[in-house]
Structure formats: structure tokens, C-alpha cells
Amino acid sequence: MSSPVDQAKNAEKFLTDTVHEPRLDKLLWAMRMRRDAAARQVPEWEELRTLASEIKEHTLSNLSDYLIQFEARATANGVIVHWARDAHEHNQIVYDLLAEQGIDLLVKSKSMLTEECEMRPFLERRGIRVTETDLGERIQQMDNQPPGHIVGPAIHKTNKDVAVLFSQKYGSDPNNEDTAYLAGVMRENTRPDFLKARAGMTGANFAVAETGAIVVATNEGNADLSANTPPLHICSVGIEKIIPTTESLAVFIRLLARSATGDTITQYTSTFRGPRKGAAMHVILVDNGRSARLGMKRFWHSLKCIRCAACMNTCPVYRRSGGLSYGSTYMGPIGIVMMPTFEIRKYSELPFASTLNGSCSNVCPVKIDIHEQIYGWREVMEENDQIQVVKKEAMRVADKVLSHPALYQIATATLSTALEVVPHFAIYNRLNAWGKRRDVPDAARETFHEWYRNHRLDTNEGGRL
């Protein structure tokens, strides 16, 4: 059994990095601001969010029928549909498809599902070279790191990091940190693999039951190159990616890029409905715990996720911790609610990597109640005795104070005085995670209750707070 990922400890290391930590925070906040600006340009934005949420809920609540419909339509289009119960089955299907044709090079575009299945090491151990063709994913592959962000896998790296990495792997100029130059190095070095590979792989943003089509959104064109250039296209699809119709696809396409980066759409939004003449297209429908999550009354809504990463960009914990601190395939707020369904003990600490401020839920394009699910997972961890003693004690005290108004008022009223007189070690210790790397602010001279009593409350009416 794996020991729990200590996100807080990993984050602490990232927080000491005076270059990467503030840079990531700034970059992601800028992305969040661009998302807000894009949303404001669409008068029906909130209506689209509601529609997207309800279409997903409709689909998930009729998922067995839609999966069967997708399979039938895709098969009629000439696609070969496979079913994988878990990561191993998925990886074995991909390997068998490659091995039976003696293929030893696979070009692939970004797919979080293949990360989840740990497909790349599975294939590499069996002699198949895998070239990630998404720039960010390729950078992470070269650096032997998993993605740090589901949209921009290497977003935590500086230009200098990439220049040095590329110089070591590709022999490019280590001192040229120009972004366009670095993207050019990637283009030059990836293209030969596109041209010689006999198999290409993509994930899927959506799978349309009505038409049996899969839809992939990218900016680099690497998914279209991976799928179109070699004669074999393999596509991995989580079963929750099904949507009913092309008409409903429009709702999600309007939300996806705007939520992710603030763009109106990605450069390429591609629909693959069947193989070209003389080529083959395989779709692997993957469960890997999804059908079990569908039965979790409190958590099945997380299956609505369209992987835009808006919740990560807005999360103060994620922005200051970096995606790698979560030690998981999916990170940030949505990762916190998804990962425990894969392995509860390993990810038992993740639900505490949140301030529960609700910003993640507010920006979610499919209205997942992310922060409420995070709180729900905290309760599950306590019920299952997965919480460290320190956290458990803090929660027990908080629960007692918050459930007794009189105790709460005494606690807040005495805080100001207490902070002035108690010694430093009593405030800054391992029980006060907030006080690490931050000064505890001075307490207000009066509590809100005191201020309200002095300024607003009409005592003659006998009102009370």
C-alpha cells in the first residue's frame, strides 16, 4: 500500500524557489484573468455553463445507452472499438495493435488518460519508442517528469529551463531563450518522427454518440499530424467523454478554450469520424474506475470535467504549490476530487490542499461543485481514519468552537490580545501550517461582532447577532 503523498511538504520545497514559484503564480493568474475577459464577451455565458452541466448530467445518467450508441455508429464508420476495464488492459490493447504490425515508434498527442494509465513506460519497456508531440508534454518527457498542469504540462518551467534541456537533448543553443526559437527547435526535431512513424495516437476531448466521432482540440496541430500522417490511428477515450450529439458539442466547444486560456477556440478543433481509405482507426473506451465513481452519490459529478484547468489557474494553493507537488496524474482542485477514487490512502492528504474558497466551482464551465466535493473528501478521510493526528486535532477544535456561538465569540475577541502576548514559538509551529513562510497578520482591533454591535445594531429592538 502506498504511503500518502505529502502535498504540503512538496509545496514547501516549491515555495522556497524564488524564481519558479512567483512566476507560476503570475502566469496562471493572468490566464484566469483572460478567462474572465473571454467569459464577459459572451452574454449567454452563464446559460452555456448551465447547459453544459445539464447535458453532462443527462449523458452520465444514460451512459450505458450512449456508449452502445457510440460503439454502433463508430463501427458503422469503419472504426474498430475496443473496451478496457483498467489501465493494464488499455496498455495491452495499444501494445498488441503496434506489435502485430511490428511498429516500434509511436507519435502521440497529449492525453491525460494515457498518463493515468502510465502507458508510455509500459510501451517503452517492450521496445516501443514513444514521441510526445505536444510541446509541453515533450519537455516533460525529456525531463522525466509527469505533466505539472493538464493544459500546459511544462508551464512551471522557465524559458531558461527549456533552453538548457533542449541543448542537452537536441544540441540547440543553451543561451537562446526566445520562445519562438525554442518552439522551432521542437518543430524541427519532431517532424522527422511524424513522417516515419507508422502509428499515431490521440486522446479525445469529446466522443459524440450520435455520429461515432471523436473530437480533439489542440493549438499545435500535433493531434491532426499524429492521427493523419501514419496509416494507423489509435485513440484512447475515457467513457465519461461521451456526449449525445453534434449539436451539444457546440456548447462545450464554446466553453472549453475560453475557460482554459481565454481564447475563443483552439487553433484546431478536429472531428475524426472514421479511417481514411487504406488506413485504420481504433478507439479504446476506457473505464479504469470511472463506472465505480459514477455510483458515488457525492462525487459522480466530477465525471463532468472537460479538462480545461480553469480550477487550477484560479486556485491559490495550486498556483503557489505547482502541479508536481500533488504527486498525481490530475492535480489542483479537480485532481483533489478525482485522485482518491483511484487510491484512497495514497491521496488521502490531497483534500487538505485547498482553502475551500469556492473559486474553483465558480469558474468551472460544467458547474462541478468542486470545493464542496473537496470538503466531502475530507469527511470521507476522517470517516476512514485517513487523517494525520495534527489535522484531526485541529478539525476537532474547530468543530467544537464553530458549533458553539459563545465559544466562537470568546475565541475571536481574545485573539487580538493573545497574539500580542504569546511567544513566537506558540504561533509559528507545526500546528499552524498557515504561518509557514508567512507572517500571521495583526488581528483587527475589534471583531466583526463588536463592530456591528457598536455601529449598526439597534439594541432597542432587542436584536441579537
Write out the binding residues for other proteins, residues 156-195 only, by CB under 8 A: 157-159, 162, 179-180, 182-183, 186-187, 190-191, 194-195
- Residue 154 or 350 with smaller CB distance to other proteins: 154
Residues forming a β-bridge with 285? 83, 237
- Residue 181 or 408 with smaller CB distance to other proteins: 181
Residue 357: strand, helix, or coil: coil
Q: What residues from 260 to 299 belong to the interface with other proteins (CB under 8 A)? A: 261, 263-276, 285, 287, 291-292, 294-295, 297
Binding to other proteins by residue 253, rule CB under 8 A?
Answer: yes
- Residue 263 or 343 with smaller CB distance to other proteins: 263
Shortest distance, position 63 Cβ to other proteins, whole Å: 5
Taking CB under 8 A as the criterion, the residue among 112, 235, 249, 366 binding other proteins is 249
Binding to other proteins by residue 89, rule CB under 8 A?
Answer: yes
Q: Give how far Cα 211 sits from Cα of 73, 243, 328, 414, 457, Å.
A: 6, 10, 34, 65, 63
Shortest distance, position 450 Cβ to other proteins, whole Å: 45
Q: Are 419 and 443 in contact (CB under 8 A)?
A: yes
- Residue 282 or 391 with smaller CB distance to other proteins: 282
* C-alpha grid cell, residue 97: 495493435
Q: What residues from 227 to 246 belong to the interface with other proteins (CB under 8 A)? A: 228-231, 239, 244, 246
- 21-30 long-range Cβ contacts below 8 angstroms, 24+ apart: 21/320, 21/322, 23/158, 24/155, 24/156, 24/319, 24/320, 24/322, 25/319, 25/320, 27/155, 28/155, 28/312, 28/313, 28/318, 28/319, 29/313, 29/319
DSSP state of 15: H
Shortest distance, position 315 Cβ to other proteins, whole Å: 16
- Residue 82 or 391 with smaller CB distance to other proteins: 82
E strands, 239-394, in order: 242-243, 268-272, 280-286
Q: What residues from 21 to 60 belong to the interface with other proteins (CB under 8 A)? A: 27, 30-31, 42-44, 47, 51, 54-55, 57-58, 60
Shortest distance, position 162 Cβ to other proteins, whole Å: 5
Residue 361: strand, helix, or coil: helix
